[in-house]
A = this chain, B = another copy of it.
Amino acid sequence: MLKVPAHQVAGHRAGSGKLGPLVDDSGRFYKPLQGDERGAREAAFYTSFSSDTKVPDHISRFFPKFYGSQLVEASDGSGMKPHVVLQDLTFSRVNPSVMDIKIGSRTWGPEESADQIQKCMKKDRESSSLTLGFRLSGMQIFGTKESGYWRPEKTWIQSISADEVRLLLRKFVSSDTSASKPDCAFASIVYGGSKGILSQLLELKAWFEDQTSYHFFACSILMMFEKELALDGKSPCPEIKLVDFAHVYEGKGVIDHNFLGGLCSLIKFISEILTTPEDSATNGLLDDVHRSHVYPENGSA
């Protein structure tokens, strides 16, 4: 009854004996709890956050709904394991384009081991985290029913330069996934507008300027929309969601300046696409990507 999620673009994937999240056909997402500190933190976060009356509705909507914890047959065949049961964020979406962006120049919290800090710092420095304050963790862009999804390789996407990040954020809202010069055809209806992604990011920013309850390390923002709706003249339902709370710490009266700084940097990147959708300074940069990193797949419709 449980199956591997179709639109997971980052993190551990279930399947072929591997442990990863599962979904059911009623819109629930089962995320296995890592057996260490991380699993405990993630469960504690969902429990505490979902009953936190200080979080306003216009902010809690950016988080997956939480349905408690449950013992579920693990995807790696290792038997019944504890999972957090969450909202399946792409449930009912048709051929969604999805981008997973890990926020913060620092992805390690105050209580990590020296080893873990070294490991995270290395990744932060080798990716764009340290320079941009965020890094792309994974993405899929729906092209057409024939071409399917464009999914760059995960190890590649986590090591790209600022200019390549800029270009992928443009490509994400462009009409032709195989063009090396993104046209940003959907920028104004996905990133822009009063219900667009930029507007949602700004709401989130205002909350982060004020909230001092939670510090989110190594947490991601998912950006999603449906290109086909746009082609039908409808709203592509642009939406952001926060995911991955295995490194959430108590804020202790201090704002999460690490997350906020990275969020502001992402906001600046998106704003620039809206003000200069025609910018072609970085065109051509992705030619190599197209030769080596295209993974066409059929759409799910």
A residues sitting closer than 8 Å to B (CB atoms) are 105-106, 110, 130-133, 162, 166, 209-210, 212, 252-255, 257-258, 260-262, 264-265, 267-268
Contacts and interface: CB of A to CB of B under 8 A. Distances in A.
Contacts of A267: 209
A264 B258 contact: no
Given A209-B264, A254-B265, A130 B110 contact: yes
Nearest to A106: B105
A106 B106 CA distance: 10
A110 B268 CA distance: 21
User: Would you list the 6 A-B pairs with minimal beta carbon distance, nearest first?
Assistant: A261-B261, A257-B261, A133-B257, A257-B265, A255-B268, A255-B265
Given A131-B110, A257-B262, A261-B260, A162 B268 contact: no
A252 B257 CA distance: 21
**Copy total for this chain:** 2
Contact of A162 (B131, B162, B252, B257): B252
A268 B105 contact: no
A209 B110 CA distance: 26
A212 B268 contact: yes
5 contacts: A105-B257, A133-B257, A162-B254, A255-B264, A261-B261
Contacts of A262: 257, 261
Nearest to A130: B110
Nearest to A121: B121
Contacts of A132: 254, 257
A275 to B, nearest CB: 11
A268 B258 CA distance: 14
Contacts of A166: 253
A260 B110 CA distance: 20
Contacts of A261: 257-258, 260-262, 264
A297 B130 CA distance: 44
| From A210, A252, A254, residue with most partner B Cβ within 10 Å | A254
Contacts of A252: 131, 162
